[in-house]
């Protein structure tokens, strides 16, 4: 069956019914898409049922059987038809057609587009398909927010989570409290990079906010793209900007100033009647601006120090019969939920709102892994999965040495694509509470729209498929094969996307031989790979990679740096790895009869900022652990673990060790530091290699957890036929 050809003479956009204004609006939208892609001007007119030769038919049909957001797209030689039960289904059918246009044959000399004949029936897996944008740390103009919404809609994301208030800036006009934007929307300066200690600021006043008219404009624009805007008004923490404007809302007298550094601040709202009256007034104006069913109230990272020291807070606890400050936060959230329910709205909060007891009808956004989401779903609450491990798009996508400054972490494109929002721990009934997933974009280091685009795209494309497509239909090879077409579509939208980096240089490597084979690839087949072996940055004149390179190596090592260049001239970030020759480390001199299974562990409870500080502490308890990882009985935050003993490796060879931790961890084999993953950060995987003789080798792992998430994973792998295969090593301790 041949395809359909679109040209200026033959195209009409058919509407049924012909007097439907929303279908007419969608017809004008698709005409604008065709004009944008090809320059072809098409007529938009209504036609009667049964007509439609050489036309694009947009049709509502109650018997479409595609669900509330599904559609059926048919392309034949005579016409293109999009049929759906709802307008949003028609809109999503148009987005699929738009992608077909981008991959189609274009003959602009005669003004036509030819696309293949297809029959597509499609509907989403999840009802919540979201993207977040933090405008508190850095402020973005209305035009960019609209562009962001356009891009969400283009990939069938249906929710925009607008993070409007922060310690570093209050971004929404509230008529009753003008000082929120007069004072709270501005800070005197911003910290330079990561210069926390000693602190260095840029000495540049910074700020901005959205007027209520601008908010209405954005909400209306999103509605035209079938995107719901959910506002977030942070409470009780992340509220310093509001306290700078109205210090009487704090438990201490102040004064306060809008924060100039990132992180968690101990100054939070006091649980006073004055605070609740203020928040109800604010939320009243917020609800007038945002028709969304959900209102997000944050609830995360609220230190209880000020409440512990406040007589007012302690009196509230006594009056309400609350056991501790966590229950006081639950009381705080429940009061806000009751107010929202009175206005037929529903509360969403980050997973900290579970602590002290969850508000009766609250929906949980699970960000500190999926544990909070699992707990909430098992309690019968709706959940949106947004864990740091897979969908924090402020995390690095490549080697931090060659990428723009980011908050930390490492979330490459393939990790986002591999995310599964429904944990295996949930029963089918519990899994029904998982509404979907969301990508989060925190903007501490994203100062410009272009910076945001670089961090979001193409990773958002991976998430869009995760939340739309059935789990068993996802296929990494198919996704990457379609990536060049998607990047052309983003080019058309003038998006500053990140070109995927060269594969094959993800880690330094060592060998026992005099040479090592280097294999480089790109996710974009038409990309040229240019590389150097002298430590310099490659450019278009550097060596062109055409086949695997047999690289001579010695103990000093050779640094290979590579970059991918697209036909349009855009280039990836550099990727670099060092390759060197090594020799086997001898086994330890230890009596095997003195060894018993498991490693000795020491558990510490203290707030530290590096693993080295654990040596100065006395352990709370000690014991024997069969594996390296979290024990399961640690306190929620501020603790450390040290594992010590021996590992028995089965044969001579080069072993690859991986540590994933949130926060810091290090691995020592004997006296050699093999992995340094120290410092406060989200979940980051670090890899180290060492050549070992078969037998016993001393092993030490140190880990600390600061705040927020917690994670510790350890694996050992060996190379086999070019791949890394996990290998079991025996863990032992000296009796």
CA distance 707 to 319: 30
pLDDT in tens, 677-693: 998 887 788 889 999 99
Query: Is the omega angle on the peptide bond into residue 198 within 30 degrees of 0, that is, cis?
Result: yes
Residue % of the chain over a pLDDT of 90: 78
* Among 163, 172, 188, 185, CA closest to 261: 188
CA distance 644 to 698: 8
CA distance 17 to 22: 10
For 552, other C-beta atoms within 10 Å of its C-beta total 12
Read off the tokens for 217. Answer: 């404009």
Cα 185 to Cα 211, 288, 310: the distances in Å are: 12, 21, 27
Confidence of residue 597 (pLDDT cuts 50, 70, 90): very high
pLDDT in tens, 161-192: 999 999 999 999 999 999 999 999 999 999 99
Distance, first Cα to last Cα, the chain: 76
Buried b (16+ CB within 10 A) or exposed e, 402-428: bbbebbbbbbbbebbbebebbbeebee
The predicted pLDDT at position 53 comes to 59
CA distance 187 to 71: 48
The answer to whether 149 and 218 have CB atoms below 8 angstroms apart is: yes
For 111, other C-beta atoms within 10 Å of its C-beta total 15
The predicted pLDDT at position 13 comes to 47
The answer to whether 480 and 456 have CB atoms below 8 angstroms apart is: no
Average pLDDT rounded to a whole number, residues 116-134: 95
Query: Is the omega angle on the peptide bond into residue 255 within 30 degrees of 0, that is, cis?
Result: yes
pLDDT at residue 538 tops 70: yes
The answer to whether 581 and 514 have CB atoms below 8 angstroms apart is: yes
The answer to whether 675 and 688 have CB atoms below 8 angstroms apart is: yes
Confidence of residue 720 (pLDDT cuts 50, 70, 90): low
Quick one: how many helices (H) and strands (E) in the chain? 17, 42
Average pLDDT rounded to a whole number, residues 64-83: 89
Q: Kindly give the residue spans of alpha helices, DSSP state H, lying in 362-472.
A: 371-378, 388-391, 413-417, 428-431, 449-456, 459-468
CA distance 707 to 315: 28
* 369 or 707, higher pLDDT: 369
CA distance 128 to 257: 37
Confidence of residue 20 (pLDDT cuts 50, 70, 90): confident
Q: Which helix (H) or strand (E) holds 7?
A: strand 4-7
Confidence of residue 105 (pLDDT cuts 50, 70, 90): low
The answer to whether 4 and 80 have CB atoms below 8 angstroms apart is: yes
pLDDT at residue 1 tops 50: no
Mean pLDDT of the chain: 91
pLDDT in tens, 362-415: 999 999 889 999 999 999 999 999 999 899 999 999 989 999 999 988 899 999
Read off the tokens for 245. Answer: 């404007």
pLDDT in tens, 292-333: 999 999 999 999 999 999 999 999 999 999 999 999 999 999
CA distance 211 to 163: 15
Average pLDDT rounded to a whole number, residues 262-277: 96
Average pLDDT rounded to a whole number, residues 25-40: 85
The predicted pLDDT at position 608 comes to 94
Read off the tokens for 633. Answer: 């009985």
Q: Over 626-685, what HEC string results?
A: CCCECCCCCCCCCEEEEEEEEEEECCCEEEEEEEEEECCEEEEECCEEEEEECCCCCCEE
The predicted pLDDT at position 46 comes to 64
Read off the tokens for 517. Answer: 């084979």
Q: For 72-76, 489-493, 523-527, 705-709, which range has the lowest pLDDT when averaged over its residues? A: 705-709
Q: Which helix (H) or strand (E) holds 102?
A: helix 87-102
The answer to whether 315 and 329 have CB atoms below 8 angstroms apart is: no
pLDDT at residue 16 tops 80: no
CA distance 553 to 512: 10
Task: Give the position of tokens 């700020």.
Answer: 207
* 369 or 291, higher pLDDT: 291
Buried b (16+ CB within 10 A) or exposed e, 366-383: bbbbbbbbbbbbeeebbb
pLDDT at residue 5 tops 50: yes
Residue % of the chain over a pLDDT of 70: 94
C-alpha angle 382/388/389, rounded to 5°? 105
The answer to whether 702 and 720 have CB atoms below 8 angstroms apart is: no
The predicted pLDDT at position 17 comes to 46
List all residues 6 or more positions away from 659 whose beta carbon is below 8 Å from its beta carbon: 665, 666, 667, 675, 677, 685, 686, 701, 712, 713, 714
Average pLDDT rounded to a whole number, residues 238-264: 96
C-alpha angle 529/532/538, rounded to 5°? 65
Phi, psi of 713, deg, nearest 5: -135, 140
Mind listing the domains of the chain with CATH numbers? 4-122 (3.30.379.10), 128-380+426-457 (3.20.20.80), 509-581 (2.60.40), 592-734 (2.60.120.1560)
pLDDT in tens, 558-583: 999 999 999 999 999 999 999 999 99
The answer to whether 389 and 439 have CB atoms below 8 angstroms apart is: no
């Amino acid at each position: 069956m041949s395809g359909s050809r679109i040209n200026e003479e033959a195209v009409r956009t058919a509407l049924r019914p012909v007097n439907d204004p929303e279908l007419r609006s969608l017809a004008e939208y698709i005409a604008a898409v065709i004009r944008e892609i090809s320059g072809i001007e098409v007529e938009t007119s209504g036609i009667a049922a049964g007509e439609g030769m050489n036309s694009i038919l947009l049709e509502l049909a109650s018997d479409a059987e595609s669900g509330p957001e599904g559609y059926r797209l048919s392309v034949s030689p005579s016409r293109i038809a999009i049929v759906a039960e709802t307008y949003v289904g028609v809109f999503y059918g148009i987005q699929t057609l738009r992608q077909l246009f981008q991959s189609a044959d274009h003959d602009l000399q005669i003004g036509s587009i030819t696309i293949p004949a297809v029959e597509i029936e499609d509907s989403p897996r999840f009802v919540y398909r979201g993207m977040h944008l933090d405008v508190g740390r850095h402020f973005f103009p209305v035009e960019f927010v609209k562009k962001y919404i356009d891009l969400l809609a283009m990939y069938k994301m249906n929710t925009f989570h607008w993070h409007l208030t922060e310690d570093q800036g209050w971004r929404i006009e509230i008529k009753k409290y003008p000082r929120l934007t007069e004072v709270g929307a501005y800070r005197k300066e911003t910290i330079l990079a990561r210069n926390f200690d000693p602190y260095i600021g840029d000495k540049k006043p910074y700020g901005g906010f959205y007027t209520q008219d601008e908010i209405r404009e954005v909400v209306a624009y999103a509605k035209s793209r079938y995107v719901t805007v959910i506002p977030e008004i942070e409470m009780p923490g992340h509220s310093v900007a509001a306290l700078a404007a109205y210090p009487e809302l704090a438990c201490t007298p102040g004064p306060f100033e809008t924060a100039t550094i990132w992180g968690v601040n101990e100054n939070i709202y006091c649980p006073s009647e004055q605070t609740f009256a203020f928040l109800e007034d604010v939320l009243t104006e917020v609800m007038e601006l945002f028709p969304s069913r959900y209102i997000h109230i944050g609830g995360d990272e609220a230190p209880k120090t000020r409440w512990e020291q406040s007589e007012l807070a302690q009196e509230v606890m006594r009056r309400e019969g609350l056991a501790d400050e966590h229950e006081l936060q639950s009381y705080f959230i429940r009061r806000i939920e009751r107010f929202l329910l009175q206005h037929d709205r529903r509360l969403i909060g980050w997973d900290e709102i579970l602590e002290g007891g969850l508000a009766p009808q609250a929906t949980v956004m699970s960000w500190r892994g999926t544990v909070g989401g699992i707990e909430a779903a098992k309690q019968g609450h709706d959940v949106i999965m947004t864990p740091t491990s897979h969908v924090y798009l402020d995390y690095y996508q490549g080697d931090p040495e060659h990428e723009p400054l980011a908050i930390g972490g490492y979330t490459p494109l393939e990790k986002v694509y591999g995310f599964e929002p429904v944990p295996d721990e949930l029963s089918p009934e519990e899994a029904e509470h998982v509404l979907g997933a969301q990508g989060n974009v925190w903007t501490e280091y994203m100062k410009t729209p272009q910076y945001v685009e670089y961090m979001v795209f193409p990773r958002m494309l991976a998430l869009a498929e995760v939340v739309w497509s059935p789990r068993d239909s996802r296929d990494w090879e198919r996704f990457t094969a379609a990536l060049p077409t998607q990047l052309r579509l983003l080019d058309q939208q003038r998006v500053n996307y990140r070109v995927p980096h060269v594969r094959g240089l993800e880690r330094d490597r060592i060998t026992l031989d005099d040479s090592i084979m280097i294999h480089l690839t790109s996710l974009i087949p038409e990309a040229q790979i240019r590389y150097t072996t002298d430590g310099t940055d490659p450019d278009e004149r550097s060596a062109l990679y055409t086949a695997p390179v047999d690289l001579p190596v010695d103990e000093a090592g050779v640094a290979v740096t590579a970059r991918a260049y697209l036909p349009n001239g855009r280039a990836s970030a550099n990727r670099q790895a060092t390759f060197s020759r090594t020799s086997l480390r001898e086994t330890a001199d230890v009596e095997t009869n003195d060894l018993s299974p498991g490693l000795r562990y020491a558990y510490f409870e203290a707030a530290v900022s590096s693993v080295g500080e654990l040596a100065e502490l006395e352990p709370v308890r000690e014991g024997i652990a069969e594996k390296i990882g979290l024990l399961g009985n640690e306190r929620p935050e501020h603790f450390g673990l040290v594992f010590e003993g021996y590992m028995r490796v089965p044969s001579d060879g080069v072993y690859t060790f991986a540590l994933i931790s949130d926060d810091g961890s290090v691995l020592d084999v004997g006296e050699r530091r093999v992995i340094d993953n120290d410092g406060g950060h989200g979940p980051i995987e670090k890899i180290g290699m060492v050549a070992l003789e078969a037998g016993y080798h001393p092993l030490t792992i140190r880990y600390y957890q600061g705040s927020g998430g917690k994670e510790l994973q350890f694996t050992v792998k060996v190379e086999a036929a070019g791949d890394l295969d996990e290998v079991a090593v025996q863990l032992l301790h000296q009796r």
